[in-house]
Amino acid sequence: MRTVLILSALLGEAMAQEPAITMPEETAPGPGSGRRIPIGSYGEAFYLQNSEGTEEAQLRRLVLFLGHQFDERFRVYSEIEIEHGNEVEMEQAFVEYRHCPCLGARAGLVLVPVGILNVLHESPTFHGNERPQLDQVLVPTTWRELGAGLFGELPYGIKYEAYLLRGLDASPDPDEGRLGFTDDRPIRGGRLGGNEGSAESAAGVFHLGWSPLGIVDLGASLYYGDASQGEPAIDSVRVTMVEGDARFRRSGFEARAQFAHLAITNVDDIARARADPENPGPRVSSHNGLYVEAGYDVLHMMRSRHEVIPFFRFERLDVGFPDPTIVLQGGVTYRPHPQVAVKGDVARIDSGAVAETRLALGLGYMF
């Protein structure tokens, strides 16, 4: 997970997918700018209460960043994440070579460039204490994989990333605690990340971004890959994801929207291979999701360095169940500093048969 603008500046130049508008213009390079060995961190903690009266409080994640700028063209980037206070994982670890602004290469553990939050998911950069359901159910954030590819920035604000990656694994692995493909979160349990595992399946991903005016970011991604990892019973299972998103920020008003379509071929083969009625895998092959969100900084006209942003988000997910899941979420984000966010929100999640209301209060930071 890259720490958006601040860590990009610490590394000396903008990362290939750095947005023009994610944070306010006041966000500037910090004291660590120009260091050959920059460091950084981000984290988030929150309190959650649902309509059943269950209460939960946790340090959701703490991420430590360490990089090194070898020279003008070579650098290394690494992030270690501690989730729920005790789960340690590598988020990113890659070597990068930048020949020129329009052409660079990366190899190692990289983020799969699909959607907004899979790349830009530090807590101060989004509203609400929990990520949108779309980014938990369809786009399995945080989605990272071993691979290599090219990136760059072309004229007229066009950016691209293209990687060849290790594919997903539709089969469960109890030893690794991996569920494989499931009914409620189709591909999330198939992520391999940097863990030991088969590399007999490959995938490709291409992302295109465009910032035409400096106040709008548009993005589109295409992912396609094999998910069998050499298992003959599911050797025809393929995954395709098509995604599009948009972000806007101007004069205190901000909005974003995202759509994702996920298709899994031959899902019946997964169920036959498992012969497990409790986890047969996805029941249908096609899944869709979208959300739209808007907010306004009520202190903008006062030219305050603080931000108080009420927001509202609408989501709809069709993940193979008889009824779609509808999420209505509203709340307030307070930023006393662009890199610190205090959040409060209420979400109503209705899947037809089950409805739940969640109240969340939280704190996030990044540097």
Predicted TM-score of the model (pTM): 0.88
Does residue 367 contact residue 352 with C-beta atoms inside 8 Å? Answer: no
Is 179 strand, coil or helix?
Answer: coil
Half-sphere exposure of 312 (CA within 13 A, CB side): 2
pLDDT tens by residue, 42-57: 999 999 999 888 899 9
Instruction: State the pLDDT at residue 36.
Output: 67
CA nearest neighbour of 117 among 2, 213, 252, 262: 2
Cα–Cα distance, 8 to 29 (Å, whole number): 9
Question: Comparing C-alpha atoms, which of 97, 1, 83, 85 is closest to residue 41?
Answer: 1
Report yes or no: 317 and 133 within 8 Å, Cβ to Cβ: yes
Question: Residue 226 in 3-state DSSP?
Answer: strand
CB 118 within 8 A of CB 125: no
Map out the domains of the chain with their CATH numbers: 4-366 (2.40.160.10)
pLDDT in tens, 268-327: 999 888 877 777 788 889 999 999 999 999 999 999 999 999 999 999 999 977 899 999
Segments of the chain with pLDDT less than 50: 1-34
Among residues 5, 17, 20, the alpha carbon closest in space to that of 214 is found at 20
Report d(CA 303, CA 300) in Å as an integer: 5
Q: Dig out the tokens for 306 from the structure.
A: 């603080």
Letter string b/e over residues 299-318, b meaning 16 or more CB atoms within 10 A of that residue's CB: beeeeeeebbbebebebebb
Closest CA to 124 of 189, 44, 228: 44
CA distance 219 to 112: 14
What pLDDT was estimated at residue 214?
Answer: 83
3-state secondary structure of 232: helix
Work out whether the CA dihedral 29, 30, 36, 37 comes out positive or negative. Answer: negative
Residue type, 9: A
pLDDT at 29: 33
Predicted local confidence at residue 342, as pLDDT: 98
Q: Which sign does the torsion angle of CA 332, 334, 339, 340 carry?
A: negative
Pairwise CA distance, residues 145 & 60, whole Å: 22
- Which one, of 112, 228, 104, lies nearest residue 163 by Cα? 112
